Amino acid sequence: MENKKKLIIELNKKHSEMFQAQRLERELYLSKHPTNVVVFKCMDGRIHMPTVTRTPLGIMKPFRNIGGKFDLGWPLLNESFDQSVKKAVAKGNRTLVLVTYHYSQGDEHRGCAGFHYDCEESKSFTENFRKQILRTYGKNNGVVFPILVGLETDKDALIFHGEKGKIVDVSKITDDSRKNLINLFQKIYPNMPDRIMADLIPLVQGNIKCIKETESNGKSLDQLVHGEWVLAVGKGFDWLHTPNMALIVGP
């Protein structure tokens, strides 16, 4: 136990140093891609969106709960999310909301335990939450744009769900040129504001890189299955969000 305590302290120090070292990189990224990116996700420790999109730490604002189950009727969640939206608006920026679910292609029991490993149930629930965000802020409001995104954890591949049942599985993209990516995503999100679209594409490009690295290096069984040994509840645990280390509940 003492060794694990020391490991947590060392991780905190390492993350702090990394976060500070990435300050200019983060500021440069945000100057190029100012869209506020919010992620609603499962507390599963294997899901780390900065890793699968290759973005600097601190760009995405995560909300985490078991199974990725959320309801804007929860007062604290509503207030915290709305504050994020209002801060972005005050800076003249829009908000892209990634409402996520996850599953494993290789073994359903490596999927989401919060939904009893039922991917369709998970997908349905998160889609209903996406619709709740639309009802709250207004359909086609042009400021808050929620989308349903799946994560296949074996390959670290993102699956984007668009209008009329259209889907883009990033692992199946063969032409990763910016022009082709914009063309693909404009087809599934025809009403997405240009600024949000321009800031979504780098996330897709980062995921393509991540998928290629995962395919090249492979994943050990320890990486594929649950290996978390820390439970964190509350705010301020971004530094603890190392892949497959902690179950984190809270913003």
Using one digit for the tens of pLDDT, what is the confidence trace for 80-110?
Answer: 999 999 999 999 999 999 999 988 887 675 6
Residues in the chain: 251
* Closest to 192 measured CA to CA, from 142, 133, 129: 142
pTM of the predicted model over 0.75: yes
Contact 248, 64 (CB under 8 A): yes
Per-residue pLDDT of the chain (251 residues; tens, 9 = 90+): 667 677 677 766 776 777 777 788 889 989 999 999 999 987 766 678 888 999 988 899 989 887 678 999 988 899 999 999 999 999 999 999 999 998 888 767 565 666 767 788 889 999 999 999 999 999 889 999 999 999 998 899 999 999 999 999 999 999 999 999 999 999 999 999 999 999 999 999 999 999 999 888 765 545 555 556 566 666 666 655 566 666 566 55
| pLDDT value for 110 | 63
- Please write down the long-range contacts of 167-176, taking CB distance under 8 Å and 24 or more positions apart: 170/204, 170/207, 170/208, 170/211, 171/211, 173/204, 173/208, 176/205, 176/208
Contact 185, 168 (CB under 8 A): yes
Q: Tokens 């909300």 belong to which residue?
A: 63
Q: Give the CATH number of domain 34-249; options: 3.40.1050, 3.40.50, 2.60.40, 1.10.150.
A: 3.40.1050
Q: Note the pLDDT tens digit of each residue in 166-205.
A: 999 999 999 999 999 999 999 999 999 999 999 999 999 9
Q: What angle do CA 61, 67, 71 make, to 5 degrees?
A: 65
DSSP strands (E only) in 77-166: 95-103, 144-152, 157-161
